[in-house]
Structure 1
Amino acid sequence: MVNNKWYGHPVIVVGMLINVFVMILALVWANDPPALWRLVVEDGIVEWMQFLCFALLAGLLGFLAVEQWQRTPKVNLQLLALVGLTALVALAALEEISWFQRILNIASPEFFLENNKQAETNIHNLAMGSGSLHKVLLLKIIAVVGLTHNIILPIVARKRPGVQRWVESMGLYLPPLWPSVIYIVLVAISHLTIDHPRKGELGEMFGAVHYLVTVFAAYYLGANYGRPAVFQDQPDARRVSTLFCMLLVFLLMTGWMLSAGAGAGAYIATHPGFGAE
């Protein structure tokens, strides 16, 4: 049997430490506009970290869907949930970098030039009234779902274990409560202490890292999860946990390097008024 307590899995701890590290960077750079822009600008450190986490998470969920099909080759609720989540997270990853538009230097079609708030080829910045689809609708949905999934249901499940069994019967999971509280607190701190028009990117990155590590810990290691995990053998779970922790640190380093390669710093240096609105 694997350790079913969240603090027995270093992947969750490392994920929290990465989020705390980025929050500290934002606080330290709060009075250094070029440095803070480098952190949260388009194709910056935080945005690349979001993409990398979502892309890896989509792969992990897709692997689980294939495993589910191989164990039970029929369409059921668990399979549909995993396939749906895989598609949703993959969409989030591609939307985050505008479907590689800036990387491949592809001009936006006329529709997006006229209807996208940032003139980019993506859906979440489509104009909706005076704002964008992301700000007017998606952020509200994400906030309600996030608080329900991370705080309300885990608290209720402590008194009524049947709630967690019901959630897991649908192919889903409940993240551990205390890591979820830390995630929500970091999002609140970023909104209250950082004075920047793109400060919301920090909270999105915190969520990407949080879901990456809790999904891996639950489905693959059995942390706070009542169903059989992918790695049931304790030595195997310990080894793969160590490797995944190394991968998490590598993702942060890769996001940092990609931000430099994408020219985020150079763009800021040559556009001093960028993001002033």
Structure 2
Amino acid sequence: MRTYVYLLQQQLSAEAEAWQHPLWVSWLIILVPILLVLPTAVLAVLAFLSPDLARPLFTWITAEDSLIEWLQFSFIGLSAWAAWRIGLTLLPSQERRAGILYIVIALVAVFIAGEEISWGQRLIGWGTPTEWAAINEQGETTIHNVGIIRRSFLLMLFMASMYGAFVPLAQAAFGNGQTRTPLSLLFVPPVSVVPAFLLMFGYRLVRMTIWEHPNFLIVKFAESVEAAFYFGALAFLLLNLHRLRKAQQSPALGSRAPEVNDPKVEGIRL
């Protein structure tokens, strides 16, 4: 166990140097998803064992327009902002294609944020057209709750979570201690975000293979898992935005080839 802890500490230290942030930030990124999911899981168990005692609280925190959903919206909205800023930072440079991709990510995040709160429908109170309500699982003016689109969205979450959970581990295991390229830093997350994505991967895997038709508690528990997933995405984006801003502030920017372990990072050759 001590060996694994030591290896994790070494990996987190290397990543903190690469992304130019204090080591405690890595531990915080690991901790937050656990704090989002574990209390909700405990509350779900209590709601199952003692419905009268715990179910009202569980129902409230996982309800539409309640605590966890607004956390999700906040994480997605901030992710859209961070991706947009990264894109604008990269566009004027030789990393233009990476910048365009990040702009697209920002626009997708804006769309997901709007879908998450039903584009304000429940807040403003407009009605759903009858034809649309008939094909929407929640009877709302959203797209991601419609038939094949919903299944595609859930598959996208599964694939994204698998990427975020296992690609960083593969990079750590098979990178052979080589210096991370700036392009790798932009598109391969650090190990610290693995818990956030692994939770979503595990939940979606169970839902697709074992528990396709779960009860209310399992379905609503997904809200905390989604919040953890969106936090992981936000953390990765903020790390890259921070790294690029540190590079811009460097007085010797561009004086030499970009290196992961050097705060004076400039080019990302595609």
* 2:144 maps to 1:144: no
Give the corresponding residue for 1:26.
Answer: 40
Post-superposition offset of 1:115:
1.6
Structure 1 unmatched ranges of 5 or more: 223-228, 235-277
Among candidates 101, 107, 112, match of residue 132 of structure 2: 112
Identity of aligned residues (%): 18
Candidates 207, 210, 224, aligned match of 2:229: 207
Q: Classify 1:154/1:215 alpha carbon distance in 2 versus 1 (closer, same or farther; 3 Å).
A: farther
Q: 2:72 aligns with which of 43, 50, 75?
A: 50
Cross-structure match for 1:60: 82
Name the CA shift for 1:178/1:168 in 2 (closer, same or farther; >3 Å).
Answer: same
- Deviation digits for residues 124-143 of structure 1 (CA, Å, limit 9, x no counterpart): 00134xxxx32x22212221
Q: Which residue of 2 aligns with 1:241?
A: none
Correspondence 1:17 to 2:31: yes
2: distance between equivalents of 1:23 and 1:187?
13
8 Å contact kept, 1:156–1:163: no
Q: How does 1:189-204 map to 2 (within 5 A)?
A: 195-204=217-226
State how far apart, in whole Å, the 2-side matches of 1:123 and 1:141 are: 14
2:110 to 67, 90, 101: 90
- Whole-angstrom distance in 1 between the partners of 2:83 and 2:161: 18
* CA spacing shift, 1:67–1:6, aligned 2, 3 Å: closer
Distance 1:176 1:75 in 2: 21
Matched-pair contact (CA < 8 Å) for 1:7–1:13: no
The RMSD of aligned alpha carbons is: 3.3
Of the two structures, which has the highest relative contact order with CA contacts closer than 8 Å and spacing of 6 or more?
1
Larger Rg: 2
Number of aligned residue pairs: 216
> 1:21 & 1:97 partners in 2: Cα distance?
23
Gaps of 5+ in 2: 1-15, 47-53, 208-215, 251-270
2:241 aligned with 1:220: yes
Query: Taking structure 1 as reference, are residues 6 and 158 closer, same or farther at Cα in structure 2, changes over 3 Å only?
Result: farther
Relative to the length of structure 2, the TM-score reads: 0.68
CA contact (8 A) 1:99 1:122 kept: yes
- The answer to whether structure 1 residue 38 and structure 2 residue 60 are counterparts is yes
- Partners of 1:186 and 1:197 in 2: CA distance: 13
Q: CA deviation at 1:202?
A: 1.7
Q: CA deviation at 1:106?
A: 1.4
Corresponding position of 1:260: none
Contact 1:12 1:213 in 2 (8 A): no
The partner residue of 2:187 within 173, 179, 182 is 173
Write the distance in 1 (CA, Å) between the matches of 2:179 and 2:225.
Answer: 27
Contact 1:157–1:163 (8 Å) recurs in 2: no
Indicate the SS of the match to 1:4: helix
**Cα deviations by residue, 1:99-153 (Å, 9 ceiling, x for unpaired):** 111111111133421221111111100134xxxx32x222122212321243135
Q: Normalization by structure 1: what TM-score?
A: 0.66
CA contact (8 A) 2:199 2:228 kept: no
Residue 210 of structure 2 corresponds to which residue in structure 1? none
CA distance in 2, matches of 1:111, 1:6: 52
Provide the residue aligned with 2:264 in structure 1. none
CA distance in 1, matches of 2:119, 2:106: 17
Q: Any conservation in 2 of the 1:183–1:206 contact (CA below 8 Å)?
A: yes
Quote the residue 2:123 is aligned against.
Answer: 103
Per-residue deviation, 1:67: 2.0
